[in-house]
Structure 1
Amino acid sequence: MTTSTRTRTLLLAAVGAVAVATIYAAQPVLVAMGADLGIGGGTLGWLVAAGQLGYLVGLVVLVPLGDLLDRRRLLVGHLLLTGTGTAVVALAGSTGLVLAGLATTGLFAVVVQIAVAYAADLAPAAERGRAIGLVTSGVVLGILGVRLLAGLLADLTGWRSVYAALALATFALAGLARVVLPPDPRGRPAGRVRGGLGALLRDRLFVARGMVAFFLFASFGTLWSGLALPLATDPWHLTSAQVGLFGLAGLAGALGAARTGRARTTTATATATTVRTALVVLVGSWLAIAQAPWSLWVLGVGVVLLDYAVQAVHVDNQHRLTEAYPGRSSSVIGGYMVFYSLGSALGAATTAAAYAAGGWVASSLLGAGFALGALAAATLLRERRFAAPPQ
């Protein structure tokens, strides 16, 4: 990878990290936000849901525009609007304005997917997998890092400072992107988005990869939405900040994503086998994660294995889909991420219920079950009939 290509890819990775952090920032400061705004109970959950719903709408409506409009301008515009929504959250004095700001932030934070597709097209064909791996690693750093840093910053200067810092970072990245990124290599795209999500859902390759992602991130969501439950009780009684430190173990997944992307460049013919191997690791990781009530060290090993496996498959999915659908990378990545979002939501919604019913063992069985679902979906990838249709 040349110096200029690497610089651009690292900038796009930073865009992914900061943009995704704006969506997940509410989780570690949710109680403080509710206390400041005078809300609680079921209403408090909308502080998280607003951003997630905005993001889901953006995946369907905005991301496909990357196949129609100049992506550098689109990326800069989305960053500016993401920063505006985040600034509204930092300054708002009412619940309604906070919810509006969070929804706006989520809507335009889909710039993450534009960054992934743009990185894939800017990189030489031989480096595409590595470029996607680097940007995906940035996204993982954003997801895991904000859970740790937001909590620490909120303790020092209040929850609003978290959103103020993210707004400033987003505006700065918009300026850098305008200066550093080259014009869209496709020139001036014109026409209409071909087919859209409905057409993709009729293609078996896309659906197979999407179902892998659905179960993959349901397993991921089961862990990260439920991990605090066993760690906050006997025998550990860890604080929120201490639980957040387990996010550092997840950084191994981010590093694994970059390395896996580089490997995928040279082993494309073995991609289905590699995906299935990673998913076997994912299933096995839950044996270690289930030990959370008894051993933090074994739990840490399980977290590393899970994050590595999830990111390895996630990078491979995006790499293969952008290869299979040239000229439609934004639509394909956006549609694929709908599966990601729905799977993450399913894992988050069910892990607490499983824990209430049977403790962390039940949550671990749930996560392992989702991992087995991903492995079952991956068996479809070895069949030749799932080759992408001509463009």
Structure 2
Amino acid sequence: MSAMDAAAAPVARAPVLLFALATAVIVQGLYVAQPLVGAIAASLGLAPAMISLVSTLAMLGYALGLFLLVPLSDLVESRRLVLLTLSANALALLVAALPIPATAFLAASLLAGLTAAVIQMLIPMAAAMTAEAQRGRVIGNITSGLMLGIMLARPLASVIGGWGGWRTSYLALAAAIAALTLMLGRSMPRLPPLQRASYPALLASMVRLWREEALLRRRAIPAALCFGAFSAFWALVALRLAAAPFHLGADGIALFALAGVSGAVSAPLAGRLGDAGRTRGAKRVFHVCVVLAAALAWLGGETHDAPWGLGLLVAAAILLDAGTIGDLTLGRREVNLIRPEARGRINGVYTGVFFLGGAAGSAVAGLAWARAGWPGACLVVLGFALAALAYGMRDGEAAAIRPPRPCPETAPRCSRTC
């Protein structure tokens, strides 16, 4: 059996619901700080220009994990790698909940983000455990769990933090991930690695994949720009909602964040549009949604009429989430169909670039907030949104994506997909 055949053959049935639940819980660690940023900053004594680091370092750590840890899923036995990384994630969250100095908290946030990259080990692992005919549906179901976790992270953190303080949110998440580690340990089979290369060679191959796969670049770059706009908005909107004229507390901010969950309806819609061959037009619509969201956020945050402004901000949150999730779903659908033998690395590159965009968005927005307040933050959101739209407009018609097939019998034997 060739490496390609081995990569495509399922070895066991994936526990889809458990994997979806796991991704939904693990991803909470990347967003738990966003609605609590004011309380965390006050507790740790962070300067205004450093407030965005609370969210940015988790995102940056996640992006580093996607580039440095996820490729190991092609090289190391998957079950052991997942369980070790999950254990480190629970420990990092536990440390963040302790009464430690600000620098130690920020380091723990970086480590929590780094090890949260285990999410992107579970998705290719599920693909390897699933027959080709059902692979897209399984990946879609697990990705839906991931997106639901992203959308629910902020309201859950707000509710728990409002009840027991921001440290309680971290403690609860650490306990949940520890329980998940035990559950996954009982459900996951041992999967042999797909590659025999050295770790440095594996990392070098990711650069080669980025250079060789034009589709990967065309889908990752606009996704990163959309997520930059997404992160810039959500990293600071809690601070705007807590100020005049809104004066929302933890429960009010939780309800606001919960409203954005309705934007997740774009995920199944995007999947159907992609299957129907309408990827290019759908992506442009989603990019326009992100641009409109930036404009509405600016107007809503600058109004002195609380109900009217809050309504505009809710609309902005829904459009922003719908546009970002729709673009991500279309991109992930396509990149998951290229090079099955490098599934972990391609997933790591795509999602790593995506989250680098998110880290950049929240970091730049934090600086803009310190200098120009909410208008400055919204200008950053708009800049990322317009860049995504412009990149999408210049993107040529995507080539039709077909499932990998072996070379014709008349062609020379090779290890590449035709």
Structure 1 length normalisation: TM-score?
0.84
Residue aligned with 1:16, SS: helix
The answer for the alignment partner of 2:3 in structure 1 is none
Contact 2:286–2:326 (Cα < 8 Å) also in 1 = yes
For the pair 1:337 / 2:343, whether they are aligned, the reply is no
Contact 2:52–2:363 (Cα < 8 Å) also in 1 = no
For the pair 1:226 / 2:236, whether they are aligned, the reply is yes
Deviation digits for residues 32-59 of structure 1 (CA, Å, limit 9, x no counterpart):
44555x5432666655454344323212
Alignment counterpart, residue 150 of structure 1, candidates 140, 153, 157: 157
Alignment counterpart, residue 194 of structure 2, candidates 186, 189, 193: 189
Deviation digits for residues 275-329 of structure 1 (CA, Å, limit 9, x no counterpart):
2232233333444434413432343233222212211110221121110121212
The answer for the alignment partner of 2:287 in structure 1 is 279
From the superposition, tell whether residues 390 and 213 of structure 1 become closer, same or farther in structure 2 (CA, over 3 Å). farther
The answer for the alignment partner of 1:117 in structure 2 is 124
Contact 1:26–1:48 (Cα < 8 Å) also in 2 = yes
Q: Write the distance in 1 (CA, Å) between the matches of 2:127 and 2:152.
A: 24
Alignment counterpart, residue 61 of structure 1, candidates 62, 65, 68: 68
Contact 2:56–2:362 (Cα < 8 Å) also in 1 = no
Contact 1:47–1:99 (Cα < 8 Å) also in 2 = yes
For the pair 1:21 / 2:35, whether they are aligned, the reply is no
Aligned letter for 2:323? Answer: A
Aligned letter for 1:319? Answer: R
The answer for the alignment partner of 2:110 in structure 1 is 103
Q: Write the distance in 2 (CA, Å) between the matches of 1:74 and 1:23.
A: 20
Shift of the alpha carbon at 1:145?
2.4
Alignment counterpart, residue 207 of structure 1, candidates 217, 220, 231: 217
CA RMSD in angstroms, aligned pairs only: 3.3
From the superposition, tell whether residues 125 and 375 of structure 1 become closer, same or farther in structure 2 (CA, over 3 Å). farther
Contact 1:133–1:262 (Cα < 8 Å) also in 2 = no
Aligned letter for 2:330? Answer: D
The answer for the alignment partner of 2:389 in structure 1 is 375
The answer for the alignment partner of 2:46 in structure 1 is 40
Contact 1:89–1:101 (Cα < 8 Å) also in 2 = yes
Gaps spanning 5+ residues in structure 1: where?
A: none
Aligned letter for 2:79? Answer: R
Residue aligned with 1:28, SS: coil
Deviation digits for residues 110-139 of structure 1 (CA, Å, limit 9, x no counterpart):
011112222334344344444333333333
Aligned letter for 1:180? Answer: S
For the pair 1:170 / 2:170, whether they are aligned, the reply is no
Deviation digits for residues 71-103 of structure 1 (CA, Å, limit 9, x no counterpart):
233222211221122223334645565444333
The answer for the alignment partner of 1:72 in structure 2 is 79
Deviation digits for residues 187-208 of structure 1 (CA, Å, limit 9, x no counterpart):
4433123843311331322222
Residue aligned with 1:110, SS: helix
Contact 2:53–2:363 (Cα < 8 Å) also in 1 = no
Shift of the alpha carbon at 1:217?
0.8
The answer for the alignment partner of 2:15 in structure 1 is 8
Q: Write the distance in 2 (CA, Å) between the matches of 1:321 and 1:179.
A: 30
Percent of residue pairs identical: 31
Shift of the alpha carbon at 1:263?
5.2
Alignment counterpart, residue 245 of structure 1, candidates 255, 273, 276: 255
The answer for the alignment partner of 2:310 in structure 1 is 296
From the superposition, tell whether residues 362 and 190 of structure 1 become closer, same or farther in structure 2 (CA, over 3 Å). closer
The answer for the alignment partner of 1:198 in structure 2 is 207
Shift of the alpha carbon at 1:223?
2.0
From the superposition, tell whether residues 250 and 70 of structure 1 become closer, same or farther in structure 2 (CA, over 3 Å). farther
From the superposition, tell whether residues 13 and 259 of structure 1 become closer, same or farther in structure 2 (CA, over 3 Å). farther
Once the two structures are overlaid, the 10-residue window that deviates more, 84-93 or 18-27, is: 84-93
From the superposition, tell whether residues 118 and 254 of structure 1 become closer, same or farther in structure 2 (CA, over 3 Å). farther
Once the two structures are overlaid, the 10-residue window that deviates more, 56-65 or 68-77, is: 68-77
From the superposition, tell whether residues 157 and 231 of structure 1 become closer, same or farther in structure 2 (CA, over 3 Å). closer
For the pair 1:348 / 2:353, whether they are aligned, the reply is no
The answer for the alignment partner of 2:332 in structure 1 is 318
Aligned residue pair count = 382
Q: Write the distance in 2 (CA, Å) between the matches of 1:259 and 1:121.
A: 25
Gaps spanning 5+ residues in structure 2: where?
A: 1-11, 405-414
From the superposition, tell whether residues 129 and 299 of structure 1 become closer, same or farther in structure 2 (CA, over 3 Å). farther
Aligned letter for 1:282? Answer: V
Contact 1:20–1:112 (Cα < 8 Å) also in 2 = yes
For the pair 1:257 / 2:267, whether they are aligned, the reply is yes
Contact 1:79–1:170 (Cα < 8 Å) also in 2 = yes
Contact 2:74–2:193 (Cα < 8 Å) also in 1 = no
Look at both structures and tell me which one has the larger radius of gyration over its CA atoms. 2
Q: Write the distance in 1 (CA, Å) between the matches of 2:164 and 2:355.
A: 31
From the superposition, tell whether residues 342 and 350 of structure 1 become closer, same or farther in structure 2 (CA, over 3 Å). same
From the superposition, tell whether residues 219 and 15 of structure 1 become closer, same or farther in structure 2 (CA, over 3 Å). same
From the superposition, tell whether residues 316 and 353 of structure 1 become closer, same or farther in structure 2 (CA, over 3 Å). same
Structure 2 length normalisation: TM-score?
0.79
Residue aligned with 1:327, SS: helix
From the superposition, tell whether residues 106 and 361 of structure 1 become closer, same or farther in structure 2 (CA, over 3 Å). closer
